[in-house]
């Protein structure tokens, strides 16, 4: 007990001497809680606190002088926050940091701590001075807002997932209906001999097939998932391969696209391949229709190349009046893409470049 009294008397004497310092006199009556620590004493103890500090923490002067300020920390004070303060003192840094502290009665409060080294005229360290601001109300308000936001986000995520599952179920039913229509059209195609009618029906079949494949891919994709373009191109080409004697082959780079690009890509490939099947070869001709998707700077390059009879000299896709080509040109314009047609020594190459940032 006598030792405690002597220690308390010593620290009070230190504080009394510090009152002679001009800066101490200036902060003693401040309404802002202020504490001053001496880095040259063992464990960097507090040597001065003002009344505002005592009112904030609930401690008496005799309970804080001579102690390191870590007595304000408690069970839920984050270790990383403790380390930041420790490192700042070690490096003699000025910091502003939020830390969970505790009052004498055990009440937790969020402390916006501002701490800085105090230097003499020659730049030598004298003390560390710290101000405290109780920001508990602000932190609690932010926490409440964040919690409400998290709950709302989770609710929206659940709603989106339910909507996605419903859409998948509807997609599955639509796909089954389209498959039935497709089977009926195939039966009708087998009985047609008129080339114009056959070409029209082949075009309709290819578009339905493209839609069926789009539905199948989307149905099996997760919500907000990106889809490999090779899955789309390969699937469309596989389904169109049997329409005539020309063999359809696909080759793609690894490119992931969002769901909103799946339909345009599928329709573009379907139309270009179908056009090649209908116009590049005779009824008994065979050949190769090569479909590629390549990554290019700033975009995706889709190419459909055939080795058939080739387009006429001066061919301009913009002037073609057929439904399929008009739909293709419209889709390309909607994407902000470009279409070029190259007459080859044998066959034709249609190239579509779609702007795309991965």
pLDDT band at 288 (very low <50, low <70, confident <90, very high): very high
Which of 117-126, 175-184, 240-249, 328-337 has the lowest average pLDDT?
A: 175-184
Same domain for 149 and 122: no
Residue 33: what pLDDT? 92
Query: Region 321-348: what's the mean pLDDT?
Result: 87
Same domain for 114 and 204: no
Average pLDDT of the residues of the chain: 82
If one counts the domains in the chain, the total is 2
Condensed to tens digits (0 to 9), the pLDDT of residues 124-140 reads 888 899 999 998 988 88
Query: Region 35-63: what's the mean pLDDT?
Result: 90
Bigger pLDDT: 7 or 102?
Answer: 102
Same domain for 150 and 243: yes
Same domain for 175 and 124: no
Same domain for 179 and 127: no
Residue 263: what pLDDT? 82
CATH of the domain at 82: 3.30.450.20
Residue 25: what pLDDT? 65
Bigger pLDDT: 56 or 192?
Answer: 56
**Beta strand pairing status for 287-296 and 246-252?**
parallel
Has this prediction a pTM greater than 0.75?
Answer: no
Which of 13-22, 99-108, 178-187, 299-308 has the lowest average pLDDT?
A: 13-22
Same domain for 191 and 121: no
Q: Which residues face 132 on adjacent strands?
A: 113
Same domain for 157 and 118: no
Which of 3-12, 131-140, 332-341 has the lowest average pLDDT?
A: 3-12
Residue 164: what pLDDT? 62
Same domain for 277 and 216: yes
pLDDT band at 103 (very low <50, low <70, confident <90, very high): very high
Q: Which residues contact 183 (CB under 8 A, 6 or more apart)?
A: none
Domain end: 134, 156, 173, which one?
134
pLDDT over threshold 70, residue 163: no
pLDDT over threshold 70, residue 271: yes
Same domain for 156 and 130: no
User: Domain range spanning residue 217?
Assistant: 142-355
pLDDT band at 48 (very low <50, low <70, confident <90, very high): confident
Residue 171: what pLDDT? 60
Q: Tell me, rounded to whole angstroms, the distance of Cα 116 from its chain centroid.
A: 38
Residue 141: what pLDDT? 87
Bigger pLDDT: 160 or 93?
Answer: 93
Residue 20: what pLDDT? 47
Bigger pLDDT: 310 or 188?
Answer: 310
Domain end: 134, 163, 186, which one?
134
Condensed to tens digits (0 to 9), the pLDDT of residues 209-227 reads 777 776 666 665 665 678 8
- Quick one: what percent of the chain has pLDDT higher than 90? 30
CATH of the domain at 173: 3.30.565.10
Domain end: 112, 134, 156, which one?
134
Same domain for 198 and 96: no
pLDDT over threshold 60, residue 1: no
pLDDT over threshold 60, residue 85: yes
Same domain for 285 and 146: yes
Condensed to tens digits (0 to 9), the pLDDT of residues 26-43 reads 677 778 899 999 888 889
Query: Region 259-277: what's the mean pLDDT?
Result: 86
Reduced 3-state DSSP string for the chain:
CHHHHHHHHHHHHHHHHHCCCHHHHHHHCCCCCEEEECCCCCCCCEEEECHHHHHHHCCCHHHHCCCCHHHHCCCCCCHHHHHHHHHHHHHCCCEEEEEEEECCCCCEEEEEEEEEEEECCCCCEEEEEEEEEECHHHHHHHHHHHHHHHHHHHHHHHHHHHHHHHHHHHHHHHHHHHHHHHHHHHHHHHCCCCHHHHHHHHHHHHHHHHHHHHHHHHHCCCCCCCEEHHHHHHHHHHHHCCCCCEEEEEEECCCEECHHHHHHHHHHHHHHHHHHHHHCCCCCCCEEEEEEEEEECCEEEEEEEECCCCCCCCCCHHHCCCHHHHHHHHHHHHHCCEEEEEECCCCEEEEEEEECCC
Which of 27-36, 59-68, 85-94, 164-173 has the lowest average pLDDT?
A: 164-173
pLDDT over threshold 70, residue 13: no
Same domain for 104 and 25: yes
Which of 149-158, 168-177, 239-248, 338-347 has the lowest average pLDDT?
A: 168-177
């Amino acid at each position: 007990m006598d030792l405690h009294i002597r220690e308390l008397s010593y620290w009070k004497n230190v504080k009394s001497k510090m009152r002679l310092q001009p800066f101490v006199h200036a902060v003693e009556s401040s309404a802002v809680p202020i504490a001053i620590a001496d880095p040259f004493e063992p464990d960097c103890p507090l040597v001065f606190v003002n009344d505002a500090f005592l009112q904030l923490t609930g401690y008496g002067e005799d309970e804080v002088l001579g102690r390191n300020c870590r007595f304000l920390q408690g069970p839920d004070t984050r270790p990383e926050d403790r380390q930041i303060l420790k490192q700042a003192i070690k490096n003699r840094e000025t910091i502003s940091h939020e830390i969970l502290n505790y009052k004498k009665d055990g009440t937790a409060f969020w402390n916006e701590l501002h701490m800085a080294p105090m230097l003499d005229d020659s730049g030598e360290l004298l003390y560390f001075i710290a101000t405290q601001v109780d920001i508990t109300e602000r932190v609690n308000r932010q926490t409440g807002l964040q919690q409400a936001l998290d709950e709302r986000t989770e609710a929206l995520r659940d709603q989106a997932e339910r909507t996605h599952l419903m859409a998948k179920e509807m997609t599955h039913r639509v796909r089954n209906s389209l498959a039935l229509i497709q089977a009926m059209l195939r039966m009708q195609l087998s009985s047609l001999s008129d080339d114009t009618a056959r070409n029209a029906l082949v075009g309709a079949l290819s578009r339905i097939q493209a839609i069926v494949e789009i539905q199948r891919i989307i149905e099996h994709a997760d919500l907000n998932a990106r889809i490999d373009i090779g899955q789309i191109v390969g699937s469309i080409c596989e389904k169109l391969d049997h329409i005539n004697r020309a063999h359809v082959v696909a080759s793609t780079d690894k490119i992931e696209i969002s769901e909103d690009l799946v339909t345009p890509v599928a329709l573009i490939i379907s139309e270009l391949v179908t056009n090649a099947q209908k116009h590049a070869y005779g009824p008994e001709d065979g050949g190769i229709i090569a479909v590629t998707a390549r990554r290019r700077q700033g975009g995706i390059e889709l190419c459909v190349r055939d080795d058939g009879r080739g387009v006429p000299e001066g061919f301009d896709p913009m002037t073609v009046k057929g439904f399929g080509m008009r739909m293709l040109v419209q889709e390309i314009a909607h994407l902000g893409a470009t279409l070029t047609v190259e007459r080859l020594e044998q066959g034709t190459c249609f190239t579509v470049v779609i702007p795309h940032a991965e």
